[in-house]
Structure 1
Amino acid sequence: MRALDKGTAAVRSAVKRLIGRTGFDVVRSTNNRGGVDDFLPFEATMRAARASGLSVGDHIDEVMNGTPGATQSTVDELRTLGVYAAKPDTVLEIGPGSGRYLEKTLKECSPSRYEIYETAAPWAAHLVDAFGVVARPTEGSSLAPTPDGSVDLVQAHKVFNTVTFLCTARYFLEMARVTRPGGRIVFDVMTETCLDPAAVHAWAARGGAGHDSYPAAVPRQTCVDLFESLGCALEASFLAPMGIGSTEVLVFAKGD
């Protein structure tokens, strides 16, 4: 048994050395609840981004995800749809992680207040220091510290593809609650639009055990019907790349 343990330890050590050559570490997160730090370790990611000469967001798109410009393309599409035209003064983002969407959103609309709900403590602290955002205490499915009808733009990017359906549903209810009348709600989910047979084959063939529920799918009509029941109408949607597949970005407007 001891020999087996030593062999396992040796394999793990070799794998860690191999991954280390690429600028990443294998770590076990202890300061978040299954959040972004589990698969995007703060120190290793920052170090690798500096070594690549790219911003953290561009490094993640180009090097880690293999989709250069993916974040910017989503922001560009949202601009075209007029999401930033109303100059939202208060923005709230769920799960900003590395801040790749946050940084580009700030450039688009310069809100006076930007709230974040991030479970990974190192990333949250970095975003507060780097961008002056307000980090709210989070339980992983609630926006309780934010008052009703107080936010102009509520968004979440690459979040609801990684958590369970009930966690997503609870966040949906909260997003509608905190959005002011006339405000917008933006998020992406893996809907049936993203899951044609070829995509399902690709995801099923993907190596590794995945990240808990990742990739998690949510029926498109479920999203539309739920938000409609909460006084929010679907304005637009478009596909955005995610790994070997795609997600669908949905834009809702809350009625007056």
Structure 2
Amino acid sequence: MTAAGRAKSAVKSGAKRLLERAGFHLVRSTTPRGGVNDFIPFEPTMRAARAAGLSVGDYIDEVMNGTPGATQSTVDELRTLGVFAAEPDTVLEIGPGSGRYLEKTLKECSPGRYEIYETAAPWASYLVETFGVVARPVTGFSLDATPDNSVDLVQAHKVFNTLTFLGSCRYFFEMARVTRPGGWIVFDVMTETCLDPEAMRVWATKGGAGHDSFPAAMPLRACVDLFGTLGCTLEAGFPAPLGVASTEVLVFRKTA
């Protein structure tokens, strides 16, 4: 093992010991996690992150999901694509959850207003208190507290693979509505590029309880064509890890 490998192993072992002292017992599993009834709990996650000496986002990536650096790699790719180059003044995020993408977004830009639509009240309160974001009321699949053409960057990460097809579509219409001309729309979906036969086999046979509707597939062409009718152009797409497989991050620009 290399020196870097030994160091990484030592960090993981230390984190595991700290978690066990805090009352958590970690076991390796090949079963995909994150079914629609398996939301990340607030208090246990906060305690475990503190015990591991990690930020909440890094704890979720490294320990819970087993994909260290996954969130940062997505944000790095968005930076390369120029999403943050114009310093968006208004950002809106659907389903920020623990705020792991929110936190890293705020390190890339300093918006005057950051709106969130989050259904988990403890996480929403934590994000408001910690980052000074504005929590909007969640009513169905609507962003109705946000005016038309008012947002520079609308994003949603690890959200639409947990929703029904029509639920996602309803959000798509709303995302296009609130985005300013020239603004960005960023989200990930499980397209056909993420569903090779082996990935389908793993999801189908090892998904376990709570995974009947997760992951939810979204045809890429249907998605691109819909946004095209809403004045938005696909600028780029790239893969991001999701459990045992991957999801595809789509980056749109509103042109009209």
Q: TM-score if structure 2 supplies the norm length?
A: 0.85
Alignment of 1:39-188 (within 5 A): 39-188=39-188
Partner of 1:202: 202
TM-superposed CA distance for 1:209, in Å, is 1.6
Classify the secondary structure of the residue corresponding to 1:183. strand
CA distance in 1, matches of 2:246, 2:180: 30
TM-superposed CA distance for 1:22, in Å, is 8.0
State whether structure 2 residue 232 is matched by structure 1 residue 232: yes
Percent identical pairs in the alignment equals: 79
Q: Evaluate the alpha carbon distance shift between residue 116 and residue 74 of structure 1 in structure 2; reply closer, same or farther with a 3 A threshold.
A: same
CA distance in 2, matches of 1:205, 1:37: 18
Do 2:93 and 2:155's aligned partners in 1 also have CA atoms closer than 8 Å? yes
CA distance in 2, matches of 1:123, 1:23: 22
Q: Evaluate the alpha carbon distance shift between residue 115 and residue 23 of structure 1 in structure 2; reply closer, same or farther with a 3 A threshold.
A: farther
Q: Evaluate the alpha carbon distance shift between residue 144 and residue 131 of structure 1 in structure 2; reply closer, same or farther with a 3 A threshold.
A: same
Partner of 1:191: 191
Do 2:36 and 2:211's aligned partners in 1 also have CA atoms closer than 8 Å? no
Over the aligned positions, Cα root-mean-square deviation in angstroms equals: 2.1
CA distance in 1, matches of 2:182, 2:137: 26
Classify the secondary structure of the residue corresponding to 2:160. coil
Do 1:57 and 1:98's aligned partners in 2 also have CA atoms closer than 8 Å? yes
Do 1:162 and 1:212's aligned partners in 2 also have CA atoms closer than 8 Å? no
CA distance in 2, matches of 1:198, 1:165: 23
Do 2:56 and 2:98's aligned partners in 1 also have CA atoms closer than 8 Å? yes
Instruction: For 1:183, give the aligned amino acid.
Output: G
CA distance in 2, matches of 1:115, 1:230: 22
Do 2:118 and 2:124's aligned partners in 1 also have CA atoms closer than 8 Å? yes
CA distance in 2, matches of 1:212, 1:116: 27
TM-superposed CA distance for 1:201, in Å, is 1.1
Q: Evaluate the alpha carbon distance shift between residue 212 and residue 95 of structure 1 in structure 2; reply closer, same or farther with a 3 A threshold.
A: farther
Do 1:176 and 1:254's aligned partners in 2 also have CA atoms closer than 8 Å? yes
Instruction: For 1:97, give the aligned amino acid.
Output: G
After TM superposition, where is structure 1 displaced by more than 4 Å over at least 4 residues in a row?
20-25, 35-38
TM-superposed CA distance for 1:39, in Å, is 2.1
Deviations 1:46-85 (A, max 9, x none): 1111111100000000000000000000000000111100
Classify the secondary structure of the residue corresponding to 1:180. strand
Structure 2: 5+ residue stretches without partners: 1-19, 26-34
TM-superposed CA distance for 1:205, in Å, is 2.0
Partner of 2:12: none
CA distance in 1, matches of 2:239, 2:175: 21
Structure 1: 5+ residue stretches without partners: 1-19, 26-34
CA distance in 2, matches of 1:82, 1:140: 32
Q: Evaluate the alpha carbon distance shift between residue 36 and residue 139 of structure 1 in structure 2; reply closer, same or farther with a 3 A threshold.
A: farther
Do 1:187 and 1:251's aligned partners in 2 also have CA atoms closer than 8 Å? yes
Partner of 1:255: 255
CA distance in 1, matches of 2:221, 2:142: 23
Deviations 1:157-182 (A, max 9, x none): 00001111111000000000000000
Do 2:141 and 2:167's aligned partners in 1 also have CA atoms closer than 8 Å? yes
TM-superposed CA distance for 1:199, in Å, is 0.8
Instruction: For 1:197, give the aligned amino acid.
Output: P
Partner of 1:219: 219
CA distance in 2, matches of 1:229, 1:202: 35
Do 2:92 and 2:115's aligned partners in 1 also have CA atoms closer than 8 Å? yes
TM-superposed CA distance for 1:188, in Å, is 0.1
TM-superposed CA distance for 1:206, in Å, is 1.4
